[in-house]
Amino acid sequence: MFERDDSRVIEPFREMLLSWYRDHQRDLPWRKTRDPYAVLVAEVLLHQTRQVGAEGLAPRASDLEALPGIGPYTAAAVASIAFGEPVAVVDGNVRRVLARIFAQADPHPRWLQETAQALLFQGDPGRWNQALMELGATVCTPRSPRCVLCPIALFCEGKDDAERYPASRVRRQRGVHAAALALRGQRGGFVLEKRNGQALGGLGGVPVR
């Protein structure tokens, strides 16, 4: 396992991933011009961020994240790919790749963001983010990852038991609950009460005993 701030290891790690991405990236429509994804996304989003764009400034990830419907992933992706902001993207693919490289069964979101940020190639953050996501989408897949073809296998601590990382999220078991409902009222109306507890807590409903 390498330390995420060990530049002697991070530099070759970055070079291998970026070299692989240059040669193996999928021929997706928005990669056919010099920066098509940036143009596409920026055109759409700048309509919503003209209070920022009007001043001639590129919106930062934090500006984008403040917009309705824009989450941390989208904000980081747009800011890095379209505007070159050095902010790491952590989507499901990146989470899986990082969990496997560092053999983390249950990586905390903060650890993921800090690790992704530490590994980020500052020279071209958009390209780096896309390379990491591409690896997760095409090589380091959830099932049967193709470790023999992986450009960063040398650095991967979890490759011998890759599907163990990250551990699948345990689904909360569904229970069967018996309850008696009381329907009370008069003249076409009936009594509702606010529920407590985990079963529809906070919602209104007929009294349950």
Q: Which residues bind ligand SF4 (CB under 6 A)?
A: 97, 100-101, 139-140, 145, 147, 150, 152-153, 156, 158-159, 162
Residue 153 CB, nearest approach to ligand SF4 (Å): 4
Residue 179 CB, nearest approach to ligand SF4 (Å): 47
Alpha carbons 204 and 39: distance in angstroms, whole number:
47
Residue 98 CB, nearest approach to ligand SF4 (Å): 9
Residue 57 CB, nearest approach to ligand SF4 (Å): 37
Q: Whose Cβ is closer to ligand SF4: residue 83's or residue 102's?
A: 102
What's at 46, amino acid-wise? L
Of 175, 172, 113, 100, nearest in space to 140 by CA: 100
Alpha carbons 79 and 120: distance in angstroms, whole number:
14
**129 near 72, Cβ under 8 Å?**
no
The number of angstroms, rounded, from the C-alpha of 5 to the middle of its chain's C-alpha atoms is: 22
Q: Whose Cβ is closer to ligand SF4: residue 11's or residue 43's?
A: 11
Q: Whose Cβ is closer to ligand SF4: residue 38's or residue 162's?
A: 162
Of 148, 168, 169, 147, nearest in space to 158 by CA: 147
